[in-house]
Amino acid sequence: MKNPRIIGQSIPRLDAPDKATGRAIYTDDIKLPGMLYGKLLRSPLAHARIKRIDVAKARALPGVKDVIIGADTPQVKYGNWRLVPGSQDELPLAVDKVRFVGDEVAAVAALDPETAERACALIEVEYEELPAIFTVEEAIAEGAPLIHDESPGNVSLVRKIAYGDLDQMFAQAHYVREDTFKVHAVQHAYLEPCACVAQAEEGSRVTLWTSTQVPYIVQCLLASTLGLPENNVRVMKVAVGGGFGGKMELRPWEFCAAFLALRTGRPLKFTLTRSDELAFGRRRHPMSIYSKVAFSKEGKLLAKDFQVLLDGGAYNAMGPTATYLCGTFGNMLYNFPAYRYLGQHVYTNKPPASAMRGFGAPQAAFAAETQMNLAAQELGLDPIDLRLINAMQTGDEIPEVATISSCGFKESLTKVRQISGWDLKRKDKKPGRGLGIGCFSFISGGVFNWFNTKYNFSAAEVKVFEDGTAQLACMACDIGQGPDTVLRQILSAELGVSIEKIRLISMDTAATPKADLGTWGSRVTLMNGNAVIQAAGKIKDMLAPVLFSQFDLNQIHDLAFEDDKVFVRANPKRSMSLAECVYKALKGRRGEPLTARGYYTPRNKGLVSPAFSFGAQVAEVEVDADTGLTKVVKMYTAHDCGVPINKMSVEGQLEGAVQMGLGYTLMENLILDQQGRTLNTTFLDYKMPTAQDMPPGESVDVDTYEPEGPFGAKEAGEGLAIPTAPAIAHAVYEACGYRCKELPITPEKVLRALGKIK
């Protein structure tokens, strides 16, 4: 490799050949000797007391090895692990009540999946049906039945943010507008349904292979629910077929697999079906949003009153964190002299909502960006100009949250205006066509200073060998976004070892450094990347004395680690291969391995994140006035992700984000009947954009350098999924006059707004 400093290059993912050829091992591919198969019995009712469970017939079925119900388990509750320790409200198997259609009631272990399925059908459960609630408005109404007795009014959590003199700012405003918005639930729809395999080992230990984004969190919570020491649980690496936030919690099948494996002494596998995922799986929070904003005559934002009811479904899951973040995302992007947020996380008798790509930001941004477009029209300003007046810049502060250390938002607005032909197309408007804009800012990993952890936020271990190769070990979880490649790029750039000579060990809680909170919040590149750089720096410090000794140099000489060599930068002839340098260092250390660990935890970097991405997106659409169909003609994106480590990966994130945004805006919607059953449980009736639906796109990176990021990098994964909905909604209005305040945008809604149907 001619240039080992490979930051910014487009390098194909190193795991791509295995995934393309089928060699990659996913959880459901694992087969162990004597393995049993598990199935879950789920509640057919949305809300009911469990009066009696009889498993005798199921136990008697030939081929059944064990059956468990909630009463057989330690009954340790779990739930939101990141923000509110007291919000744990979920049991692996229901004990007293079921709270949504699909709530897990019992688990069976059998010789094959078919026998396990038949056994579940033989379990007799007597329920006392209770009134069910399916909207947040019904849930908080006076006299509504309680879903959890300890949560009066069915509100599990209240979050408030307030600064500035809100009343004064509204009183002096030239223009004030109030709007309400509703956003809906969608499913992650990752290609790999959840699965896990558990194997019991000596000494009440258990190993778990599972499709997860948070191996260490699963280890901690599983140990807690099993009543075992943390080190008795090992979570192992498998390929993960997508996550998007849907695989970042302990789930009932993981507990049941481990619990049954310990009871039976045999390995046990659970694999969910697509229908399981769509009918009962986690989903993005539906929200009811009220927003009141004030502007000066010149278009300067003065104040915002932001009130949100989050429909959390039957359990908290990651909802408390989403409740906080939604309020934080509500005052990002623009400078607000006064801001007030009231977020309430509300229980309903629906499947739990939880983390999903953007984690509260797509909902908050749909309301905020739609209001900016509405205000621009009323104030007689171009929507991009209004944003330029209010855009955050480097050095600006999000009060009580963070100071922005790098920001290319204004540059993004300027560039997206250019590449989309914004001014000309708006001037020469074609019938049925429209341009719309949406913008975003997103975190580069949550800091959450209130999260009391005994570990660093990320860690990496680097080891070098006398053959010139290196090994990188970390718990960063690749769920398709590409850190298995990116982290090796970072190590290659820092240590000078060719990327193909780096062996990666990841996501094994028994073999990798125990300091990582998982893959969420676009944290991996920044946080794990910094840990890799620190570990590589320690290795360089171990190797430098060899070169100093070899060439009789003093410490002031600047050494370079490039092209699999170590040399004096001012005199490259004074060099040796990395392999020779390592060999001599090992010899001098009498064989003691050259191993170093690096750690990273943001210190004094604000309440939420050490760095923030920014960007702007323009959608160009056509609306058919006869059918109500919306066709996205082209998407234009300008975004500030700092210095891209791997441009190809950034492009992939953008394309995936647009696909997800299209589905959220125009197609995807989970339909529930009056009993709380999800009706569209296959990909035939849960509509998502396919490759044929993807519009062409044009994108441009905005050059900034993030001082807190490795080589200047920051977030480039979730932020890009945020602006698509408000951009398309704005474009639809410009094309046909329908202003969407309730997603998704369906042909029926368009036709109704045009007076074509009632």
Q: Averaged over 7-30, what is the pLDDT? A: 95
With a cut of 90, say whether residue 606 has pLDDT above it. Answer: no
With a cut of 90, say whether residue 179 has pLDDT above it. Answer: yes
Planar angle of CA 407, 659, 183, nearest 5 degrees: 80
Which burial class, exposed, middle or buried, applies to 328 when counting CB atoms under 10 A from its CB (0-12, 13-18, 19+)? Answer: buried
Confidence of residue 758 (pLDDT cuts 50, 70, 90): confident
pLDDT at 4: 47
Amino acid present at 269? K
Q: Are 513 and 473 in contact (CB under 8 A)?
A: yes
Q: Are 622 and 631 in contact (CB under 8 A)?
A: yes
Q: What is the Cα–Cα distance from 737 to 50, expressed in whole angstroms?
A: 51
pLDDT at 455: 67
Compute φ and ψ for 65, nearest 5 degrees: -105, -25
For residue 95, how far is the Cα from the chain centroid?
31
Q: What is the Cα–Cα distance from 529 to 523, expressed in whole angstroms?
A: 9
Residues ≥6 apart with Cβ < 8 Å to 604 = none
What tokens were used for 753?
């707004």
pLDDT at 3: 42
If we measure between CA atoms, which residue out of 225, 720, 152, 691 comes closest to residue 439?
Answer: 720
Q: Are 719 and 638 in contact (CB under 8 A)?
A: no
Q: What is the Cα–Cα distance from 50 to 58, expressed in whole angstroms?
A: 18
pLDDT at 449: 47
How much of the chain is in helix, strand and coil states, percent to nearest 5?
A: 30, 25, 40
Q: Averaged over 479-494, what is the pLDDT? A: 96
What tokens were used for 308?
């949100």
What tokens were used for 314?
């039957």
Q: Are 490 and 645 in contact (CB under 8 A)?
A: yes
If we measure between CA atoms, which residue out of 672, 675, 668, 659 comes closest to residue 721?
Answer: 659
Q: Are 693 and 662 in contact (CB under 8 A)?
A: yes
Quick one: what percent of the chain has pLDDT higher than 70? 97
HSE of 108 in the Cβ direction (CA atoms, 13 Å)? 29
pLDDT at 518: 87
Planar angle of CA 522, 184, 627, nearest 5 degrees: 115
For residue 670, how far is the Cα from the chain centroid?
20
- List Cα–Cα distances, 251 to 203, 255, 296, 701, in angstroms: 24, 7, 49, 38
If we measure between CA atoms, which residue out of 226, 254, 225 comes closest to residue 238?
Answer: 254
If we measure between CA atoms, which residue out of 355, 353, 351, 356 comes closest to residue 678?
Answer: 351
Please list the alpha-helical segments (H only) found in 7-102: 16-21, 56-60
Q: How many residues are listed for the chain in this entry?
A: 758
Q: Are 352 and 313 in contact (CB under 8 A)?
A: yes
Q: What is the Cα–Cα distance from 748 to 632, expressed in whole angstroms?
A: 17
The CB density around residue 9, as the number of other CB atoms within 10 Å, is 15
Q: Which residues pair with 623 in a beta bridge?
A: 630
| 255-301 pLDDT per residue, tens | 999 999 999 999 999 999 999 999 999 999 999 999 999 999 999 99
86 or 104, higher pLDDT? 104
Domain with CATH 3.30.365.10 in the chain: 16-22+450-600, 391-443+607-753
Work out whether the CA dihedral 729, 731, 735, 739 comes out positive or negative: positive
Q: What is the Cα–Cα distance from 534 to 460, expressed in whole angstroms?
A: 8
Q: Are 725 and 362 in contact (CB under 8 A)?
A: yes
With a cut of 80, say whether residue 515 has pLDDT above it. Answer: no
Work out whether the CA dihedral 30, 31, 32, 34 comes out positive or negative: positive
If we measure between CA atoms, which residue out of 525, 163, 576, 555 comes closest to residue 330?
Answer: 163
With a cut of 80, say whether residue 113 has pLDDT above it. Answer: yes
Residue 594 is inside which H or E element, if any? strand 594-600
What tokens were used for 577?
């291969």
Dihedral, CA of residue 383, residue 615, residue 339 and residue 301, to nearest 10: -30
| 26-83 pLDDT per residue, tens | 999 999 999 999 999 999 999 999 999 999 999 999 999 999 999 999 999 998 875 5
pLDDT at 160: 96
Confidence of residue 2 (pLDDT cuts 50, 70, 90): very low
Is the CATH code 3.90.1170.50 the one for domain 31-130+191-242+247-280?
Answer: yes
What tokens were used for 457?
């936020």
pLDDT at 5: 77
pLDDT at 556: 67
| 433-472 pLDDT per residue, tens | 999 999 999 999 886 644 455 668 899 999 999 999 999 9
Amino acid present at 715? E
| 619-646 pLDDT per residue, tens | 999 999 999 999 999 999 999 999 999 9
pLDDT at 454: 63
DSSP string of 423-456, one letter each residue: HHHHHSPPTTEEEEEEEEEEESS---TT---SS-
Describe the strand order of the beta sheet including 195-201 as a list of residue ranges: 64-69, 104-110, 36-42, 268-271, 195-201, 205-210, 233-236
Q: Please write down the HEC assignment for all residues of 477-497.
A: CCCCCCHHHHHHHHHHHHHCC
Domain with CATH 3.90.1170.50 in the chain: 31-130+191-242+247-280
With a cut of 90, say whether residue 402 has pLDDT above it. Answer: no
Q: Averaged over 506-517, what is the pLDDT? A: 87
pLDDT at 24: 96
Q: What is the Cα–Cα distance from 14 to 611, expressed in whole angstroms?
A: 27
| 651-698 pLDDT per residue, tens | 999 999 999 999 999 999 999 999 999 999 999 999 999 999 999 999
| 717-736 pLDDT per residue, tens | 899 999 999 999 999 999 99
Residue 288 is inside which H or E element, if any? strand 287-295
Q: What is the pTM of this model?
A: 0.96
What tokens were used for 285?
């929070």
If we measure between CA atoms, which residue out of 302, 289, 293 comes closest to residue 344?
Answer: 289
Is the CATH code 3.90.550.10 the one for domain 16-22+450-600?
Answer: no
For residue 256, how far is the Cα from the chain centroid?
25
The DSSP secondary-structure symbol of 683 reads: T
If we measure between CA atoms, which residue out of 745, 743, 732 comes closest to residue 621?
Answer: 732
User: What does the mean pLDDT of the chain come to?
Assistant: 95
What tokens were used for 124?
């007799």
What tokens were used for 139?
């849930």
Q: Which CATH code for domain 391-443+607-753?
A: 3.30.365.10
pLDDT at 404: 95
Q: Is 307 in a helix, a strand, or coil?
A: strand
Q: Are 647 and 711 in contact (CB under 8 A)?
A: no
Amino acid present at 160? K
Residue bearing tokens 């977020």: 343
Which burial class, exposed, middle or buried, applies to 142 when counting CB atoms under 10 A from its CB (0-12, 13-18, 19+)? Answer: exposed
Q: Averaged over 375-399, what is the pLDDT? A: 97
For residue 593, how far is the Cα from the chain centroid?
37
Planar angle of CA 320, 323, 329, nearest 5 degrees: 140
What tokens were used for 757?
């149907």
Q: What is the Cα–Cα distance from 749 to 758, expressed in whole angstroms?
A: 10
Residue bearing tokens 């200047």: 712
pLDDT at 296: 98
Range of lowest pLDDT (513-517, 550-554, 569-573, 602-606):
602-606
With a cut of 70, say whether residue 503 has pLDDT above it. Answer: yes
Q: What is the Cα–Cα distance from 309 to 271, expressed in whole angstroms?
A: 34
Q: Are 620 and 420 in contact (CB under 8 A)?
A: yes
Q: What is the Cα–Cα distance from 324 to 87, expressed in whole angstroms?
A: 13
Amino acid present at 628? G
